[in-house]
Copies of this chain bind each other. A is one copy, B any other.
Amino acid sequence: MSDRTPLADDRSPRVDPFLEVREKRVGRRPGDAYVRIVRPFEDVFERGTEGDLIATERTVLDRPGWTRTIRRLRTILIGQPISSLREEHERLTKLKALAIFSSDNISSSAYATEEMMRILVLAGIGAITFTMPLTITIAVVLAIVALSYWQTIRAYPGGASSYLVSSDNLGYRAGLVAAAALLIDYTLTVAVSVSAAVAAITSVIPGLLDERVLLAVGIVTLLMLGNLRGVRESGTIFMAPTYLYIVAILGMVAYGLVQRATGTLAPYTPPADWLRAAGGGQALGLLLILRAFSSGAAALTGVEAISDGVPAFKPPEWRNARITLVWAAAIFGLLFLGISYLASSIGVVPDPSEGQTVLSQIARVVVGDGAFFVIIQAATMLVLALAANTAFADFPRLSSFLARDSFMPRQFAFRGERLAFTTGIIALSGLAVLLLVVFGASVTALIPLYTLGVFLAFTLSQTSMVVRWYRRREPGWRRGMVINGLGALTTGVIALIVIESKFLSGAWMVVIAIPLLVLLMTAIRGHYRAVDQALAVARVPGGRRAARAPIVIVPIARLDEPARQALAFANSISDEATAVHVTNDAATAEGIRRQWIDWAGGAELVVIESPYRALIGPLLAYMNVLQRQDPSRPILVVLSEFVPRHWWENLLHNQTALRLKLRLFARRNTIVADVPYHLDAAEADPDAISRR
């Protein structure tokens, strides 16, 4: 960062480039020679090295008129702007990082058991006994995946996003596939987690069941605002619920295990109609078990979040990230195994109406209906909403990588006033709301779309690591290759299982969407590259042609002050400006012609009668005629525009000017200058210039 001294410390115009500029600005004509000694930039600008100006916060906060209201609203919602210089202070401790990056993974424990049971129960109540073996299998997969990422973090301390790792080792197309898969999955994370949070609410207050889409959209909006406030604040806001959930569920599991061991666990019979609904028409085949497995494996999403976010940790980044990864995986494993075990022991059955979650049934049995139950439900609801928050950290960051590489629109790479990737956050919120509305905020409806993306990204990332180990042959490469190879194989097989078992119920949408997204991203980069090449300055020295003074025309509708102001501007930059009056009324034209000499002095007036009452067509035709006489000379069209006091007054004015501008914008070699005439300025002292 450049070292900064306020301008006030240095008053020599020789050293201060801004004052030099001011000296040069003293005009050529006698009337223009006008110097006033002011230093108004003390609070607006500071001075950097090499004479740069450095804008202060006031340049962002000081806004004129109605935009001030927007500014205030924005400050209330997302806070004051943060300087780039503060970026390094926004690093995360392990405790905060666990809350931000692992809430997705940890919170999956709230619904993973249930989603497996929902599939198994299709083959009858008896099939639920498969819940525990499947849970153990998934825990083993978790260990393998976590170990693989433990290695990836060391190899890519600058951020081990699947997109970066795959691009690096398998080429940019593989990277794009991983990126597309992850973007889809992050969006689904928000939709699924928020739906699950809403399910936790409606378990306690069934009356809200009809409003679940509305509730879900409300939660997404809150998450969006929280994230627009910036990464550190969202960490602080969201830390408490994660730990509350971990403590509450671990406590419940422990208490349940004690009751189970001592035989004091209350007996439980699910409502008869739930059992009746379960009476499965389907056979308990391999496909059903695989479907149940892949539903449960959805819980593994979010394991990669920590490795994506390595640079956000305090130094030494990679070591802190590794420690956090081990903790996160261990906590999630414990929770998942505990919940599945209790669910099986108690004999819980999923509620076909999605009113009561499995977790809340367990909690009712273990701790009863009291305060602890409410705490568990509240913590679950909050942590599920937070799981969405992981995606709010990941999606914008991945989008910014993609935008930096020209695969997404540039806006995604810009940090907003609070250092957050504003465009990515807003885009994610919009997409999630769309999914929630389309799928009615139902976890069960959304789950089949989920999972595939994550496991695809897992597989690509682990495969990349295998390739990397093999290419580099660094010390320990064989062991590393085996671990990552095992990870790649496991996650690859799961990805295939997900496609196989969930294709018809929703995964097909993802299978179609990923290549489409890859194509779109490739097309966007193609476009940006083509444009950059076309816009690049010709390398040939002297390729610059001398600029030719433009032909200046001023369309004039009436002889009024705005027209006069436009004409005055035209005359001030050209000695041969021409006014053009297009009319369908010969009488008015005659009047204008009569007043013209008095009014405009020597300037020339061309009158075009338009018997078809069109304005724009004849004007463009006139410009074409001028241009054909001298094709390389640009035409400058000076438009007078009246700026009314209130925006809605524009409905009564300027409609034609707007249409004309659109047409002129498409015309070659044409420059449009807007000379706005401010109504209130006309009534005040004409020399008084508002500074806001």
Contact = CB atoms under 8 A, between A and B. Distances in A.
Contacts of A62: 617, 621
A634 B673 CA distance: 13
Given A52-B607, A652-B409, A690-B668, A535 B560 contact: yes
Given A22-B626, A24-B604, A535-B561, 8 more contacts: A52-B607, A53-B607, A59-B621, A524-B652, A544-B564, A549-B572, A665-B674, A672-B673
A506 interface: no
Interface stretch (A161-169, A184-192, A454-462, A636-644): A636-644
Q: Lowest 10 A-B CB distances belong to which pairs?
A: A55-B618, A547-B568, A547-B572, A59-B617, A673-B673, A59-B621, A535-B560, A573-B573, A83-B611, A631-B689
B629 A679 contact: no
A547 B677 CA distance: 15
The residue among A84, A593, A643 with the most chain B CB atoms within 10 A of its own CB is A84
A668 B652 contact: no
Contact of A572 (B409, B550, B641, B667): B550
10 contacts: A25-B629, A38-B629, A45-B608, A83-B611, A415-B613, A527-B652, A531-B653, A535-B562, A535-B677, A671-B673
A206 interface: no
A417 B31 CA distance: 49
Q: Which of A2, A34, A84, A613 has the most CB of B within 10 A?
A: A613
B547 A569 contact: yes
A612 B59 contact: yes
A457 to B, nearest CB: 26
B614 A417 contact: yes
A24 to B, nearest CB: 6
Given A584-B84, A671-B675, A52 B608 contact: yes
A40 B631 contact: no
A61 B617 CA distance: 8
Contacts of A633: 27, 32, 34
B573 A550 contact: yes
Interface stretch (A275-283, A463-471, A574-582): A574-582
A54 B670 contact: no
B548 A671 contact: no
A535 B63 CA distance: 27
Interface size on A, as a range, is 35 or more
A655 B415 CA distance: 15
A627 B34 CA distance: 12
Given A60-B614, A677-B535, A54 B608 contact: yes
Contacts of A64: 666-667
A108 B589 CA distance: 46
Contacts of A642: 531, 535
Contact of A612 (B44, B83, B568, B634): B83
A599 interface: yes
A417 B60 contact: no
B561 A689 contact: no
B84 A611 contact: yes
Nearest to A601: B544
A157 interface: no
B44 A549 contact: no
Contact of A59 (B44, B548, B620): B620
Contacts of A593: 50
Contact of A625 (B44, B84, B578): B44
A649 interface: yes
Contact of A665 (B584, B643, B668): B643
Contacts of A85: 611
Interface in A639-690: 641-644, 649, 651-653, 655, 663, 665-679, 681-683, 686-690
A172 interface: no
Contacts of A269: none
Contacts of A537: 559-561, 564, 599
